[in-house]
Amino acid sequence: MRRWLAAASGAKRVSRRRFLQAALPLAASPVLLHGAQPRVAIVGAGIAGLYAAWLLKQAGVEATIFESSKRSGGRMYSATGTLAPGVTTELGGEFIDTGHTEILRLAKRFGFELIDVEAPEEKALQSEAFLFGGMLRPEKEVHAAFAAVAPLLARDIAAAARNAARYDRLSIAAYLDSIGVSGWLRALFDVAFQTEYGLEPGEQTAMNLLALLTAEPDGTVTLFGESDERYKILGGNQRIPDALAGELTGQIRHEHRLEALTHQDAGYRLSFENGREETADAVLLTLPFTMLRRVTLRVPLPPAKRYAIHELGYGTDAKLMFGVRRRLWRDAGYGGNLFSDEPFQLAWDSSRRQPSEAGGMTMLCGGRAGVAMGATDAERLVGQWMPSLEKAWKGIGAARTGTAAMFHWPSHPHTLAAYTCYRPGQWTRIRGHEFRPVSRLHFAGEHTSLDFQGYMEGGAETGKRAARAILRQSGLPVPF
């Protein structure tokens, strides 16, 4: 969950874009094709592949998308009515930031209404609650705890860009040990970044924390930087990929799982598990590296690219959701976001601003807890976690509708993970190599984004970047 908290009103924010773009590897030089209309194959019908194909079509190039599953949309996956009548729940990507230009542009293009979770009536509620040590921690206590460590965090954030290798060698756990964060505040840091990126604090590079978090001399700590998670699409975020797919009639081939990619003189040969083969002048791979590493790649790849494909870390977040007849946390003055050292780790009102008295609560776990969720069913797990939720929202068990659902991304056969998470050492060894094209082989998806890794926006903006690169290589004008 990409959310900022414990920030004073009007606090200065460090630009994550500028931080992330420091010391990037140079992009490969383009290889121009000698034909006006290239044959373009796109692997993956998530937001990156769909948006790239849609943009290419505007430029007169009809790419073919090959998707392993029976549906389009990838990790933009919405369900309506699962928890309560008329209530939409996001099984995958959920929140849209104010700065997510491409996603917001697409929403406007297709005329989709936005849900604004920062509407005036929402601002009257306490956005986050913190359940640690069996009790809800008052906001003043949370702010005071952050203020005590803010100077050390500010010092290391300022030093991180020019000392990335040093901090990259540390895990988040080792870094927090080094600055003496302990007690319930340590548990809050652990839960925040375990759910944010999806791996245990001991399995993530400290750069994940230092690049995202901001800290000010006045004691203000902003855990998740510039992200405001302000919007969703009314009716479900999946409406965007559905709309794109609707304008790509005849260009999407489902149930085509890529088995091998072979470089040949005329371009590339794509071999699929269903026995079919296709050829293309240019290929765009948008599938996550968890899936690409299962593909036989008979193409010349630089060692850094091959290493990135096979070793890039991924989070293991999973979502558990249940319905309620009434959102009783609002009666207590809370917006519904809850961080905790209880087994559920992070929970939020996933029905916020939807036109229904009934609603839904989503719980998210990362790391080993996220993996373990796949060993039980949704209803049983909700029952196990309900006593923990009762500590924050009294009566929530009695308010249940009896509906529950789970989406277990770590075992989902078309992703095998949630989204990207750099492990120690990978910030300096891998970051920036994920997106670099190799001749006419291009890469897109949230895992290739520098500014929006892990977001729907990351898929969209890298799909656009790849579409532009393909047109330029083909000697064609770029109209977008």
Span 295-309, pLDDT tens digits: 999 999 999 999 999
* Cβ count within 10 A of residue 228: 18
Task: Report which residue type is found at 22.
Answer: A
Element (H, E) at 471: helix 456-473
3-state SS class at 127: strand
**Which residue has tokens 């992070």?**
346
Q: How far apart are CA 21 and CA 27, in angstroms?
A: 13
Q: Please report the pLDDT score of residue 229 as a whole number.
A: 94
Q: How far apart are CA 136 and CA 388, in angstroms?
A: 12
Domains of the chain listed by start with CATH number: 40-73+238-311+425-473 (3.50.50.60), 77-230+315-418 (3.90.660.10)
Nearest alpha carbon to residue 1 among 343, 350, 326, 280:
350
The per-residue pLDDT for range 219-275, each reduced to its tens digit, is 899 888 888 999 999 999 999 999 999 999 999 999 999 999 999 988 999 999 999
pTM recorded for the entire structure: 0.94
The per-residue pLDDT for range 28-54, each reduced to its tens digit, is 444 555 556 899 999 999 999 999 999
Element (H, E) at 58: helix 47-58
Decide if 421 contacts 208 (C-beta within 8 A): yes
The per-residue pLDDT for range 132-151, each reduced to its tens digit, is 999 999 999 999 999 999 99
* Diameter of the chain measured on Cα atoms: 68
